[in-house]
Amino acid sequence: MNDQLKTDPSKPAQRMRAGSMTLTLGPWIVAAIALLVMPYIFTSNSALTIMNQMWITVVFALAYNMLLGQGGMLSFGHAVYMGLGGFFCMHLMNYIEDFGLAFPLPLLPLFGGLFGMGFAMIIGSFSTSGAGTRFAMISLGVGELIAACSVIIVAFFGGEEGISGDRTYGLPFFGVEFLKQIEVYYLISFWLMLSAVLMYLFSRTPVGRMANAVRDNPERAQFLGYSARWVRFYSFCASGFFCGIAGGLFAISYEILTEENLNATSSGVILLVTFLGGVGFFFGPIIGAIAFTLLQTVLSLQTELWAIYVGGLFLATVMFFPGGLAGLMMMHVPALRLGKAGGLVMPYIKTLIPGAIGVLGVCALIEMTFHFRHAAKGDHEMTLFWTTFDSHTVMPWLIAGIVAAVGLGVARATAPAMKEAWDEANTAGGAS
Amino acid sequence: MELILVNVIDGLVTGLLLFMLSAGLTLIFSMMGVLNFAHASFYMLGAYFAYQISLALGFWVGLLIAPLIVGVMGAGVERYGLRRVHQYGHVPELIFTFGLALLIEELVQFVWGKNQMAYDIPDILNFTAFSIAGNSIPAYKIFMIFISVGIFMGLLYVLTKTRVGMIIQAALSYPRTVEALGHNVPLIFMGVFGVGTALAGVAGVIAGPVLGTFPGMAFVLGSIVFVTIVIGGLGSLWGALVASLLIGWITTFAKSYNIAMSDILNGIGIATPENLSDNMFRDLWTVTSPQIADILPYILMVLILIFRPAGLFGKRES
């Protein structure tokens, strides 16, 4: 019975690229500049809130991927470490307020991180002795335990309503009191850059490389003289540290923490985010967090059914692109190297655009069914794709059905051509 | 004394219900080596299908047909979903079933809405079977016990005494060899998956009227079922039975006897602090057993995993 959770090293999408301890500066500088410039492009307050949420999720997802992607450990209760770090920061914030402590707010996430790491050390001391189902089940059990404790231990978790604080009582940091959203944004961006760089460097340290080795073949790693358990333990603690930082950032940004930050749903969401982005590459979770937050905020404004679409997208990702979005992007690197990526553009347009239109048609059918079944009596009007129509007549159903059928049909018909083009683009030599 | 007997019966009902879910799950685990996170979702589907059928054709038809539909759906999931994901390894498989659980919950909300369904005990079973010292035992609970015990007997008979059961057991341990002997192993796997999910469907049909048919029902029971089979030992049918009954009784007794933590602490010689409301551990002092009844299985699981990682009846990992 082989229940080790590991990725297959023979598949490029699942393999970490080998490298040294050096940092390729290019992408990092671009990322830093993007972080600095973003608030000037999206100036509205709601955009700032979304970006704050996005960057916090990025930190959390990167920390989660230290386990899932780099260590091969599947955790079902990882929201606990972020939540506990956040709760600790919130108490610290209230403590500062009550006793008038001279403590600069930007340092707060560090303490959240230390608390998260401390808790990870306790749990990790017994959970990391195995990687597979055992680790997953302990993480699930601990997650449920802590989530249940949050209702029982009112002194620390504040019961049902959680605990809240005020970030502005700390020592002004070079005159900044964090009253404005934009100041919080730059605080979060700073911590995002710092933790992302540190996490990247961690994956390049000997411990980080050994985590990959233990993920792929724990037995061999042990024959080389490394203790698989200790390697997992170090990864686990480091991950707990960065989760705690994410929790601290959450506390600063939202000024309230509740049981929701600890429960199984949050743990599930972060798994979804990380896998959607792709666990095989360092930047995968970043893409996943950005895509998921956008989907969540934009789609939930448009439709009540957003969770169905996200769930469907998630299942499709697992079934067809186990490398996630990052894996999908990196699949094209060989074609680009061969200089044949241009040949892929036309087949892609021919297949993917009808496919997308077909999917939209299916979505329209789903929305109409939902409206038909659940709307208030007598409310026959619905608005979809900027057109208002009566959902109880045949015409819109016919149109949506035809669009879906034709779109998916065309995509299906042109799929073999796309596959051919793909094979051709990935073959060295030949024509062109 | 009478109260103990009542609790024993209540715990037995809960435990046997858990067992119907965990039996299928543990079979599926020993077959594919993967925990099926969507297992409780099939239980929920069973309840909803049975409700829909009972509206038109009555409870008994629902009891017969709903599990069949659920079983066919389960087999379809194995055939077109899991088998495809299997090639990517175990983590994607786990994640696939996890995503499936989320999607099924959303779909159920989409079709039936968020409210609890009016799925009730059939009139013919809606009477008091007997009473123990003034505590009446409804006939439906006795019915649940009989159904679950009957299913367990049937399962045990099929698995150990029939030819089909032998082939299944062989295919679980040595799939390659069984395949070489000319049996269609993928078909067996699909069948086991279908039967496992159908069992979950039966549990849903009979639990729906008692525990309520609502979109969160899978979530409520889902993680407890994993806890059960982990405690019992992954892949062990007897372990699943023992662990289910254990959990059923532990939670029932913890809920019906109000044992306060302060009494226990006083009993072992620690005095209650003077000003309790300022004390750091005030919440620990006011904890009572009904409060923590629902998390006792998790505590038990974590302890078992630490001290006996293979579970109560599980085989040691090689």
pLDDT value at A245 more than 90: yes
Residue A14: pLDDT band by 50, 70, 90 thresholds? Answer: very low
On whether the CB atoms of residues B70 and B130 are closer than 8 A, the answer is no
Q: Which residues of B touch A4 (CB under 8 A)?
A: 90
| Min Cα–Cα distance to chain A from B89, Å | 6
Task: Report the residue from A5, A155, A268 with minimal CB separation from B98.
Answer: A268
- The mean pLDDT value of chain A amounts to 81
Higher pLDDT, B149 or A160: B149
Q: Where are the alpha helices (DSSP H) in A69-205?
A: 79-99, 108-127, 133-152, 154-157, 181-204
Length of chain A: 432
pLDDT the model gives residue A170: 66
Q: C-alpha angle A299/A277/A343, rounded to 5°?
A: 95
pLDDT value at A61 more than 90: yes
Which residues between 143 and 162 in chain A have a beta carbon less than 8 angstroms from any beta carbon of chain B? 144-145, 148-149, 152-156
Strand ranges, E, within A329-428: 381-384, 387-390
Output b/e per residue, A72-88; b: 16+ Cβ within 10 A: bbbbbbbbbbbbbbbbb
Determine which of A177-191, A200-214, B117-131 has the lowest per-residue pLDDT on average: B117-131
pLDDT the model gives residue A55: 92
pLDDT the model gives residue A13: 45
- Say whether residue A376 is in contact with chain B using an 8 A CB cutoff: no
Q: Which residues of A touch B299 (CB under 8 A)?
A: 145
Q: How many CB pairs under 8 A join A and B?
A: 127
Q: Please, is A385 exposed, middle or buried when counting C-beta atoms within 10 Å of its C-beta (0-12, 13-18, 19+)?
A: exposed
Task: Report the residue from A3, A6, A268 with minimal CB separation from B33.
Answer: A3
Q: Where are the alpha helices (DSSP H) in chain B?
A: 2-32, 39-57, 59-77, 83-85, 90-112, 139-161, 163-173, 175-180, 185-211, 217-232, 237-256, 261-267, 282-286, 289-292, 296-307
Closest of B28, B33, B42 to residue B221, by C-alpha:
B42
Residues B305, A138: C-beta atoms closer than 8 Å: yes
- Say whether residue A2 is in contact with chain B using an 8 A CB cutoff: yes
Q: Which residues of A touch B305 (CB under 8 A)?
A: 126, 134, 137-138, 141
pLDDT value at A302 more than 80: no
pLDDT value at A1 more than 50: no
Which residues between 82 and 141 in chain A have a beta carbon less than 8 angstroms from any beta carbon of chain B? 126, 129-130, 132-134, 136-138, 140-141
pLDDT the model gives residue A64: 92
Architecture label for domain A23-330: Orthogonal Bundle (1.10)
Model ipTM value: 0.80
Selected for mutation to probe chain A from B95, B284, B306 (highest A CB count within 10 Å) is B95
- Say whether residue B308 is in contact with chain A using an 8 A CB cutoff: no
| Min Cα–Cα distance to chain B from A26, Å | 32
Higher pLDDT, A194 or B172: A194
* CA–CA distances in Å: residue A61 to residues A18, A86, A352, A356: 21, 16, 29, 28
How large is the angle between the packed helices A79-99 and A228-254, nearest 10 degrees? 50
pLDDT value at A6 more than 70: no
Higher pLDDT, B272 or A257: A257
Could you give the percent of chain A with pLDDT greater than 70? 89
Residue of A nearest to B235 (CA): A1
Task: Report helix, strand or coil for A257.
Answer: strand
Half-sphere CA count of A92, side-chain side, radius 13 A: 26
pLDDT the model gives residue B279: 65
Q: Which residues of B touch A272 (CB under 8 A)?
A: 99, 102
Strands A381-384, A387-390: pairing is: antiparallel
Instruction: Give CA B147 to chain center in angstroms.
Output: 15
Residues A141, B99: C-beta atoms closer than 8 Å: no
pLDDT the model gives residue B270: 72
pLDDT the model gives residue B277: 65
Half-sphere CA count of A396, side-chain side, radius 13 A: 23
Reading the block at residue A258, the tokens are 């509740």
Spell out the per-residue pLDDT of chain B, length 318, in tens. Answer: 777 888 888 889 889 988 988 888 888 888 777 778 889 999 999 999 999 888 888 888 888 889 999 999 999 998 888 888 888 877 788 888 888 988 898 888 888 888 888 777 777 777 776 777 777 788 888 888 888 889 888 888 888 889 888 888 888 778 888 889 988 888 888 888 898 899 999 998 888 888 888 888 888 888 888 888 888 887 788 888 899 999 999 888 888 877 777 777 777 777 776 666 666 666 677 777 777 788 888 888 888 888 887 778 876 554
Q: Which residues of A touch B88 (CB under 8 A)?
A: 8, 322
pLDDT the model gives residue A432: 43
On whether the CB atoms of residues B85 and A319 are closer than 8 A, the answer is yes
Rounded CA gap, A288 and A273, in Å?
5
Q: List, in sequence order, every residue forming a beta bridge with B213; answer none if it has no partner.
A: B117
Determine which of A125-134, A147-156, A168-177, B102-111 has the lowest per-residue pLDDT on average: A168-177
Rounded CA gap, A159 and A152, in Å?
7
pLDDT the model gives residue B318: 41
* CA–CA distances in Å: residue B212 to residues A252, A369, B51, B227, B280: 40, 26, 11, 22, 39
pLDDT digits (tens, 9 = 90+) for A65-123: 988 888 888 888 889 999 999 999 988 888 888 887 777 888 888 999 999 999 999 98
Residues B292, A133: C-beta atoms closer than 8 Å: no
Residue of A nearest to B306 (CA): A126
| Min Cα–Cα distance to chain B from A45, Å | 31
pLDDT digits (tens, 9 = 90+) for A339-389: 777 777 777 777 778 788 888 888 888 877 777 777 666 666 677 777 777
Rounded CA gap, B300 and B304, in Å?
6
| Min Cα–Cα distance to chain A from B299, Å | 7
Rounded CA gap, B276 and B274, in Å?
6
Rounded CA gap, A207 and A214, in Å?
10
pLDDT value at A18 more than 60: no
Count the neighbouring beta carbons within 10 Å of the beta carbon of residue B227.
Answer: 26
pLDDT the model gives residue B23: 87
Reading the block at residue A173, the tokens are 């940091």
